[in-house]
Amino acid sequence: MTSNLNVPSDRISFSISDLQEVARRIRRNIVTMIHKAGSGHPGGSLSAVEIVTTLYFKVMRHNPSDCRWSERDRFILSKGHAAPLLYAVLAEWGYIPSEELMTLRQIDSRLQGHTECRLVPGVEMSAGALGQGLSFSIGMALAGRLDKQNYRVYTLLGDGECDEGQVWEAAMAAAHFKLDNLTAIVDNNGIQLDGFNKDIMNIEPLAMKWQAFGWEVIEVDGHSFPQLIEAFNNVKTIKGKPAVIIAHTIKGKGVSFMENNPDFHGKAPNSEELAKALKELG
Amino acid sequence: MAEISLREVYGKTLVELGRLNPDIVVLDADLSKSTMTRYFAETFPDRFFNVGIAEQNLISIAAGLAASGKIPFASTFAVFAPGRCFDQVRMSVAQPHLNVKIVTTHGGITVGEDGITHQAIEDLALACALPGFTVVVPADATETAQVIRVAAEIEGPFYIRLPRMKLPDILGEKYRFVPGKAGELKPGDDLTIAAIGVMVAPALKAAGLLQQMGIEARVLNVSTLMPLDVDAIIKAAQETGAIVTAEEHLEHGGLGSAIARETAKKFPVPMEMVALNSYAQSGKPEDLLKRYGLTAEDIVQAARRVVERKKR
């Protein structure tokens, strides 16, 4: 179930408990969609639920009935394997019908395993090959500046994704171009496909890397709505450089047996596991 | 015949287009003094983005600009795009069919002395592997200016390859480039010589030499490699019964491969391919063209072979 709001985002105000209820529904949809599809990426979808919920319900200006509205804030999902999360959020707002969520990854569905921008209203960029979203966002931020539009661009990266060299090409360029209308969020859940980041490819010290590249760095608990809201309010006041929010998260957050478990990076829950997950999520 | 730098023409055409259309933006990866996008940079500094030596970033930023309504021209050497950024071109440009114009210079072996690492002879195969792309190799300055203007007008991704060296202006002022159409530069019924880019002038020279031997070659400038002008190719196969292709590219995946694919399906005829089969080496462009078999004389030899085969 979704709320299917289908109104411009600035028409409604949401309390923290509203956001918690939305996040609960989104998590239920994520595990159910992936179970139904028989494949997908629950871990990195669940870890970023609060981040994306905060953006769509508290931060971004957007309008489900006009997804190409030129003044909309842009959300770029660079970690395209978290597609189920984005689809579930878009369904909450009525960009897509909530019934459609259960067609994920099936033939003739618009909901590709990784996001495809030409098929789904509200998806700004095709993603799946990692590392490209921040560069793409730079293009959007530069266009906004040229057109004297005051929209902002928010880009969600995975921490494993930061292994990609292109992320750092983009980090250098965004600071060079002084893009204060661009905010990156790193879903820092500490796990990539093959295991823990620290064992596969250590990306620490992550905050110092972004600082060294010329970014304002804010670190938050990525499951705390108040901390996320405050961080997104702060980045709007930073001038002359881009900002990155390093959101410390738990991979698989909300489902005990998926939490901090590399096995659920890219594995669907079976029927028993789904029942257990839904019971835990409430 | 005057020899003109196609890169110069590209750079100056961009400035003209920039004056007409404020949505045109140009990106380069630290090669603007060689690709000649520097003219645009000097005239419209706000609409020029130098991303440094970062070709992956170059293409994805261009894609983001295109997704926001801009018409980005992204330039570097042909050896770096689409090669160095193929995944970015594939996922961020080809699949969403974004309006990005990738214009590369220094294509082929005639980049010369810089050596094999800088000689792009696979770029057309890579570009032609991308559904929805329009792939163009202009033959001279006149055509280059027209191709750049057309690319700015038509929605959708383009890959345009230019050479480093100057080329003779062979097509003349009356020439009109039509995307997806091959231009017949000389009539003939004994065989067809289909050429692109640097090889169009030698193809015309070869046709003249063949004429002295009593062989009338039709010469086609197949500047749009994708989508290929299948009608003109099949008509040539039917009417002349033999085809020689000429390109400054590997035999795999370039003009010869594309034409053979279509004739094999619809009207097979004897073919010869004047193309590269290996990496080359440093050297003067004209010496390299001779050494690796890309001259008018090589086209003449191939034409005589294919006409012999046709008789069998």
Per-residue model confidence as pLDDT tens digits over A47-88: 999 999 999 999 999 999 999 999 999 999 999 999 999 999
* Contact at CB, B96 and A125, closer than 8 angstroms: yes
**Predicted confidence (pLDDT) at residue A1 exceeds the cutoff of 70:** no
Collect all residues of chain A within an 8 Å Cβ-Cβ radius of residue B52.
Answer: 169, 172-173, 176
How far off is chain A from B92, nearest CA to CA, in Å? 7
Alpha helices for chain B (secondary structure H): 6-20, 32-35, 38-43, 55-67, 86-88, 123-128, 141-153, 200-212, 230-240, 255-266, 285-291, 296-311
d(CA B155, CA A213): 36
What tens digit of pLDDT does each residue of B107-119 get?
999 999 999 999 9
pLDDT of residue B70: 98
Q: Identify the band that residue A7 occupies on the pLDDT scale cut at 50, 70 and 90.
A: confident
* Contact at CB, B62 and A138, closer than 8 angstroms: no
Tell me if domain B3-168 and domain B183-311 are identical in fold.
yes
* Contact at CB, A143 and B70, closer than 8 angstroms: yes
Residue range B259-282: mean pLDDT, rounded: 98
Token duo for residue A216? 């304002």
Residue bearing tokens 């590369």 = B104
Summary mean pLDDT of chain A: 96
pLDDT of residue A5: 78
* Contact at CB, B61 and A136, closer than 8 angstroms: yes
**Predicted confidence (pLDDT) at residue B1 exceeds the cutoff of 80:** no
- Per cent of chain B over pLDDT 70 is 100
pLDDT of residue A10: 81
- Confirm or reject contact between B277 and chain A (CB < 8 A): no
Token duo for residue B262? 């279509």
CB-closest option in B59, B69, B95 to A143: B69
Q: Which residues contact B24 (CB under 8 A, 6 or more apart)?
A: B14, B17, B18, B47, B70, B71, B73, B152
* Contact at CB, A147 and B68, closer than 8 angstroms: yes
Q: Structure pTM? A: 0.97
d(CA A242, CA A185): 11
Say if residue A221 is exposed, middle or buried (CB neighbours under 10 Å; 0-12, 13-18, 19+): middle
Summary mean pLDDT of chain B: 97
Residue range A166-187: mean pLDDT, rounded: 98
- What's the CATH architecture for B3-168? 3-Layer(aba) Sandwich (3.40)
pLDDT of residue A4: 67
Q: Identify the band that residue A9 occupies on the pLDDT scale cut at 50, 70 and 90.
A: confident
**Predicted confidence (pLDDT) at residue A27 exceeds the cutoff of 80:** yes
CATH code for the domain defined by B183-311? 3.40.50.920
Looking at chain A, which residue has its C-alpha nearest residue B52? Answer: A173
**Predicted confidence (pLDDT) at residue B229 exceeds the cutoff of 60:** yes
What tens digit of pLDDT does each residue of A202-227 get?
999 999 999 999 999 999 999 999 99
Token duo for residue B102? 């990738």
Q: Return residues 89-118 of A near B (CB < 8 Å).
A: 116-118
* Contact at CB, A128 and B91, closer than 8 angstroms: yes
- Helix B230-240 / helix B255-266 crossing angle, nearest 10 deg: 70
d(CA B209, CA B297): 9
Collect all residues of chain B within an 8 Å Cβ-Cβ radius of residue A131.
Answer: 56
Looking at chain B, which residue has its C-alpha nearest residue A76? Answer: B64
d(CA A25, CA A38): 20
How far off is chain A from B61, nearest CA to CA, in Å? 4
pLDDT of residue A2: 60
- Per cent of chain B over pLDDT 90 is 98
DSSP string, B166-207: -EE--S-TT----TT--EEEE--SSEEEEE-GGGHHHHHHHH
Q: Identify the band that residue A11 occupies on the pLDDT scale cut at 50, 70 and 90.
A: confident
d(CA B187, CA B171): 15
* Contact at CB, B47 and A172, closer than 8 angstroms: no
CB-closest option in A117, A129, A139 to B87: A129
CB-closest option in B51, B69, B91 to A173: B51
Q: Could you confirm whether B55 is annotated as catalytic?
A: yes
SS3 call for A278: helix
* Contact at CB, A118 and B64, closer than 8 angstroms: no
pLDDT of residue B265: 98
Are B171 and B203 spatial neighbours (Cβ–Cβ below 8 Å)?
Answer: no
**Predicted confidence (pLDDT) at residue A6 exceeds the cutoff of 80:** no
d(CA B291, CA B287): 6
* Of the candidates B54, B48, B88, the residue with the CA atom closest to the CA atom of residue B70: B48
What tens digit of pLDDT does each residue of B48-80 get?
999 999 999 999 999 999 999 999 999 999 999
How far off is chain B from A246, nearest CA to CA, in Å? 22
pLDDT of residue B312: 84
Q: Identify the band that residue A196 occupies on the pLDDT scale cut at 50, 70 and 90.
A: very high
Give the mutation candidate from A68, A75, A117, A135 for the B interface (greatest B CB count, under 10 A). Answer: A135
Q: Identify the band that residue A3 occupies on the pLDDT scale cut at 50, 70 and 90.
A: low
Residue range B225-243: mean pLDDT, rounded: 98
Strand partners, A195: A192
Q: Which is catalytic among the residues B3, B8, B55, B155?
A: B55
Give the residue extent of every domain in chain B. 3-168, 183-311
DSSP string, A6-60: -S-GGG----HHHHHHHHHHHHHHHHHHHHHHT---HHHHHTTHHHHHHIIIII-
d(CA B211, CA A31): 73
Total residue length of chain B:
312
**Predicted confidence (pLDDT) at residue B13 exceeds the cutoff of 80:** yes
CB-closest option in B52, B57, B66 to A135: B57
